[in-house]
Structure 1
Amino acid sequence: MASLDPDTDIMYVCRSNLVLRSQMRVILSETYNRKRLPEAMEHNVETVWSDRLAKNPKLYNGTKFRIDSVSIEGDALTVNLGVTCYKEYIGSNWSPNVELYQTLGRQYCNNPQVYLSDPLGVGSFVLTSDNRVILLRRSVHCGEAPGLWDVPGGHAEPEELVGKKSFEEIDVSSMDSQAVTDEIFDSILREIRDEVNLPQSSLSDPELLGIARNTTSASRPSMEFLVRCSLKSEEVVSRYQQGNQAEADESTSIKMLPLEDAVVLETKNPDLWREMAPSGKGCFILYRLTNRSP
């Protein structure tokens, strides 16, 4: 499903009712891991990672969940997940050979993403009690979209469930499905808390808006949520500026957008829209597509 911006595609949108954690089912299998490329090409994955790491030593090769596909039955959403890591993501989705990998995926597996890492990101349309939306300016040290405006977000982390293991050591089929679902929903609350310095008690339980793909990173997917904050926008800014957040080095400033501007940002403020990270654009588009515009 195409979005309205070349930086994003929409993989899934909750058009009628948003998906609660009780309505999401996770199926875990190694068959949903990235398929390995022919040996010479697989070696290039390591080379791309090494080159990026040399340029940005702050990069960290953590384990991630890999989203393969979704299906809908009634109000329930089934998500098929494997595991991957940040090294695979940089080495495949950000490889100069990524179009070749997608071509091979179409040719041999009828799936252009099968050789790509596609780690599952999470992001959130955070709405304050006075109807303002949180945007953060990403640090220039971020691994992607440096210096752009974005919604709070990050990744669900297998490490939270299995400890510090390489993704090759993880028996994904042995992971508890409900625990993984909870980690996905809990991870966005954690990211908001750590990036904006907000108490978790001020945040509602996340509701899934849908899944957007970042076309600038070879269609890497991200679940985008609606989270309501009981604080007013000035309180949010004040807490952010206190500088106590756990991930203070990931952003450099905060912006509070009126909701009525956020839902028409492409036309209301096209300069700001051009400065938005693809993940942020996808989140805003999904909010609008769910018919939750004012």
Structure 2
Amino acid sequence: MDTTPSELPHIVCLLRDSLPLEQDDVSVCFDPARFARKTNPAQEQAIDSQWRRQCRQNPRLFNGSKFRYAGLRWTGAPQLQLGLTSYREHIGTNCRAGQRLLQEAGAAVHGDRQAFLADPLGVGALLLTADNRLAFVRRALWTGEYPGRLDRPGGHAEPDDRAYLTGVLRDRDMGGRPTLEFVVSSMQVEIAHCPRPKLERIYNEGKHAEADESLGLVFLTRLELFSDSCVIRVPELDEVDAECPGGGQIETLAEVVNNPEVNAPEGADAATAEKSVEEAERERKAKLWEEMTPACRGSLMLLKQVQLKGFVFRF
């Protein structure tokens, strides 16, 4: 499967008055029978064949149970509708070459484009460090999805972690695979209280969960992402396919930059060599958008709208 990002994800914006949601703002309806993937014998045989083939090509793959995202119901507040699926089913449906045919069949037979797909629910989080950086990871080359691409950290949220939900993404290149997108600030998570060098040291120790699934860390400042002179242009939500099911407005976050060095004129005696290094670094970072996974791009677009309760982002 070609996993080169070709499309921005479909975005469901869950911000309320430009604020992300806290844990108590979201409910879950878990019903494995009601929200199960629709099946038929031919499809199950194709899933089994696809899984065996992928395991031969990549012996490090392993199966495991996952929550299946069946949709979002809005009754004054968002309710996640979840069933059960597996990584094996994900490989055999969302990641197969005929994923769009499965979506067309689901729409025709069940009135639901995702009926025949596994749609395991992923979790992604943009981590804001103590020295005002956004931390990204470079995906390992052996991974089954977007090898070598730039991504936000993902996995499973711990019950005691304090994270803010910004929206739901569906990756069109992965048959509409869903992810919940969060923002985690240095004010909420212990590891994020450390500056970039310490976080890099912790990462390089390789003791974190699934450490071999990424190759390294990449840090970007808000100025490089969201300022008037940004290196990477992050689109506005109203420029793309985005929904706001709560009935609120999708608003543009006003930029407040508290950095006296921004827009400061360069010294007349600045060395030509230094300018060349700066220009090369800017060009390198400008290309990072092309290297990001669709979910990483969508997560940044959601972050562009966010103002968290109780404190202001400092970048």
**2:263 is equivalent to residue 247 of structure 1:** no
Tell me which residue corresponds to 1:34.
Answer: 37
Cα contact 1:15–1:291 (8 A) shared by 2: no
CA distance in 1, matches of 2:57, 2:20: 40
For residue 209 of structure 1, the aligned residue among 166, 170, 188 is 166
CA distance in 2, matches of 1:260, 1:223: 25
CA distance in 1, matches of 2:306, 2:116: 31
CA distance in 2, matches of 1:270, 1:31: 45
Q: Which amino acid in structure 2 is aligned with residue 240 of structure 1?
A: Y
**2:268 is equivalent to residue 266 of structure 1:** no
* Alpha-carbon shift at residue 246 of structure 1 (Å): 3.3
1:168-190: CA deviation from partner (whole Å, max 9, x where unpaired): xxxxxxxxxxxxxxxxx427x8x
Tell me which residue corresponds to 1:282.
Answer: 298
CA distance in 1, matches of 2:307, 2:23: 20
CA distance in 2, matches of 1:256, 1:137: 11
Greater strand proportion: 1
* CA root-mean-square deviation: 2.1
Tell me which residue corresponds to 1:165.
Answer: none
For residue 45 of structure 1, the aligned residue among 44, 47, 60 is 47
Query: TM-score by structure 2 length?
Result: 0.72
Q: Which amino acid in structure 2 is aligned with residue 69 of structure 1?
A: G
Tell me which residue corresponds to 1:73.
Answer: 75
* Alpha-carbon shift at residue 270 of structure 1 (Å): 4.1
Pair 186,245 (structure 1): closer, same or farther in 2 beyond 3 Å: closer
Q: Which runs of 5+ in 1 are unaligned?
A: 157-184, 190-203
CA distance in 2, matches of 1:291, 1:207: 11
CA distance in 2, matches of 1:9, 1:277: 13
Please show how residues 124-273 of structure 1 align to structure 2 within 5 Å.
Answer: 124-154=125-155, 156=156, 185-186=157-158, 205-229=162-186, 230-263=193-226, 265-266=232-233, 269-273=285-289
Query: Once the two structures are aligned, what percentage of the paired residues are identical?
Result: 31
Q: Which amino acid in structure 1 is aligned with residue 289 of structure 2?
A: W
Pair 52,7 (structure 1): closer, same or farther in 2 beyond 3 Å: farther
Pair 246,106 (structure 1): closer, same or farther in 2 beyond 3 Å: closer
* Alpha-carbon shift at residue 247 of structure 1 (Å): 2.2
Structure with max Cα Rg: 2
CA distance in 2, matches of 1:274, 1:77: 32
Tell me which residue corresponds to 1:107.
Answer: 108
Greater helix proportion: 1
Pair 241,72 (structure 1): closer, same or farther in 2 beyond 3 Å: same
Q: Which amino acid in structure 1 is aligned with residue 85 of structure 2?
A: T
Cα contact 1:13–1:290 (8 A) shared by 2: no
CA distance in 1, matches of 2:178, 2:307: 21
CA distance in 2, matches of 1:105, 1:243: 42
* Alpha-carbon shift at residue 234 of structure 1 (Å): 2.2
Cα contact 1:140–1:146 (8 A) shared by 2: yes
Cα contact 1:13–1:289 (8 A) shared by 2: no
Pair 35,11 (structure 1): closer, same or farther in 2 beyond 3 Å: farther
* Alpha-carbon shift at residue 260 of structure 1 (Å): 2.4
* Alpha-carbon shift at residue 152 of structure 1 (Å): 0.6
1:198-230: CA deviation from partner (whole Å, max 9, x where unpaired): xxxxxx601101111111101100001010122
Q: Which runs of 5+ in 2 are unaligned?
A: 1-5, 187-192, 235-281
Q: Which amino acid in structure 2 is aligned with residue 39 of structure 1?
A: P
Cα contact 2:139–2:215 (8 A) shared by 1: yes
After the TM superposition, list the runs of 4 or more consecutive aligned residues in structure 1 that deviate by more than 3 angstroms.
Answer: 266-270, 289-294
Pair 72,261 (structure 1): closer, same or farther in 2 beyond 3 Å: farther
CA distance in 1, matches of 2:60, 2:147: 13
Secondary structure at the residue paired with 1:111? coil
CA distance in 2, matches of 1:96, 1:90: 10
Q: Greater CA deviation, 5-14 or 219-228?
A: 5-14
Q: Which amino acid in structure 1 is aligned with residue 184 of structure 2?
A: V
Secondary structure at the residue paired with 1:31? coil
